Structure 1
């Protein structure tokens, strides 16, 4: 599975909208000049946007800016088919410089923020999924007008999260993106074991020093920071979806030292595993 520049077939319509259904999300780490709005109807796993790595599940609603690398990958905690609703469009969506018109002022601000990736917290509901499906099923002009109305609403939402750090700048080199995708797949398959720098460097045909520099330059974080983020995100998911003891979860996520696991969990989640689980249970009781 190789990373690639994705060419989107949008010649027939200003807005390319579709429903994706399969046994898994199999798109590699990729980028394209089109904006992308994706709603997860079914599926769980890890979402990668720029240098952001987070859990995703049903209701995940994200706006991706032009040429911002991204992908969704399932984890072994998810069993079953996946489904998402996707909208894609480019800067010539409504003609040249359309977003600079007064009528689209708010949408223009939204699309500028999308350069960092946007997660919409307040749109996670079955009602949203039904609305998006209904937009897709409309006739072309009605679909376009309904989608513009949706963008206007999203532009006024306050409860959003910018996904990438302010210092992140996309690396649009195809060879580099291919290497990142290979690393992502390797970590996904081996997070529960000891991951050695030698093995990963060899996998992408680089020396250890060259690989560390490459990864830091590509994602603005070290490779071992990335591994810990991945493992802690997965551990947080296991805490709320399983009845396993914390020590077992730590071991399952690749941590050989329980004190080290606790320190990493505190660092990335700003609380202990016990507090994290209790807060979740309290919010969902």
Structure 2
């Protein structure tokens, strides 16, 4: 089965995306999927099966896995124990090719990132040595998250014991030009979500007709383009709410919506509750 291409929303003011899940905020399943971003996943405990490319790898006491971009995979975590923790760190290839390249001192980190294109599964000792640093992500600001990731990668490059799942680089089931075109679309939405997004404008930039553009996007992601845009904008709205922006109208406009009832409808569609309910839950006074 061909994987679905997933869009990773890395905030404009950050080089990485970090999501932390416990047993109550379990990572929503995306099924068999692929994305251009590198992905480092920590699962504290429990058992499961890693489905990565053509390989399957069982684990019984959590796992720590590092994937290069464009490697098809299924979800990794489990709900075996109430104290389980899953941390997912994702970053784009320019993190390696542009940002880290400026520092020769980080050569070891660059090598372990490059090696992740073979899909690395680290041993239990390595995972347990790093669990406190992964747990720390949830309480850090963007600068702290970046420094914490560099510390983790430094440890992995020096002391990490891992097994590559593949002897050579994994070849994507998608053509390079297809992936490049989809990355352009994701980047366009990331840069223009606050403005009016026109299918005719973005399709012309890709030298496609609007109908060809819509067919291409549906083929690659199994979803309509404007559904993707709305979900992306709602994810941005959640970011704004979580940054102590509590005026719903401001968040609505900043995330690209102009109609309050439509914003509420889309927010409930993707978050399960209305914006006002989300704010009440997040900022409810503690006793």
Q: Deviations 1:101-154 (Å, cap 9, x if unpaired)?
A: 4122111111111001111113232x5323211133112212211211211111
- Root mean square deviation of aligned Cα: 3.0
1:34 aligns with 2:64: no
Give 1:100 shift. Answer: 6.0
Aligned to 1:85, what secondary structure does the other structure show?
Answer: strand
Secondary structure of the residue that 1:69 maps to in structure 2? coil
Task: Report the TM-score, using the length of structure 2 for normalisation.
Answer: 0.51
Q: How far apart, in 2, do the equivalents of 1:37 and 1:152 lie?
A: 13
Task: Give 2:142's aligned residue.
Answer: 140
Deviations 1:45-101 (CA, angstroms, capped at 9, x unpaired): 2101222211123330010101111123679xx756664111111122378253364
Match of 1:6 in 2: 6
Conserved? CA contact 2:67–2:120, under 8 Å: yes
| Closer/same/farther in 2, CA of residues 168 and 91 from structure 1, 3 Å limit | closer
Q: Separation in 2 of the partners of 1:24 and 1:143?
A: 19
Q: Which runs of 5+ in 2 are unaligned?
A: 176-287
2:61 matches 1:48: no
| Alignment equivalent of 2:71, drawn from 44, 68, 73 | 68
Is the CA contact 1:46–1:72 (under 8 Å) kept in the aligned structure 2?
no
Instruction: Summarize deviations over 1:144-189 as a string: whole Å, max 9, x none.
Output: 112112111111135210012337523137xxxxxxxxxxxxxxxx
Distance 1:18 1:74 in 2: 13
Deviates more, 1:96-105 or 1:141-150: 96-105
Structure 1 unmatched ranges of 5 or more: 174-285
Report what 1:170 is aligned to. 172
User: How far apart in 1 are the matches of 2:150 and 2:118?
Assistant: 21
- How do 1:270-281 and structure 2 match up within 5 A? none
Deviations, residues 13-57 of structure 1 (Å, cap 9, x unaligned): 211111134568733121111111101124422101222211123
Counterparts in 2 of 1:23 and 1:104: CA distance versus 1, 3 Å: closer
CA contact (8 A) 1:51 1:168 kept: no
CA deviation vs aligned residue, 1:192-242 (integer Å, no higher than 9, x gap): xxxxxxxxxxxxxxxxxxxxxxxxxxxxxxxxxxxxxxxxxxxxxxxxxxx
Q: 1:56 to 1:14 in 2, by over 3 A?
A: same
- Residues 73 and 123 of structure 1, relative CA distance in 2, 3 Å threshold: closer
User: Where does 1:196-207 land on structure 2 (aligned, <5 Å)?
Assistant: none
- In structure 2, relative to structure 1, the CA distance for the partners of 1:49 and 1:95 (3 Å cut) is closer
1:20, 1:84 within 8 Å by CA — same for their partners in 2? yes
TM-score, length of structure 1 as denominator length: 0.52
User: Quick one: distance in 1 between partners of 2:135 and 2:28?
Assistant: 19
Q: 3-state DSSP class of the match of 2:95?
A: coil
1:57–1:92 Cα change, 3 Å: same
Cα 1:72/1:161, change in 2 over 3 Å? same
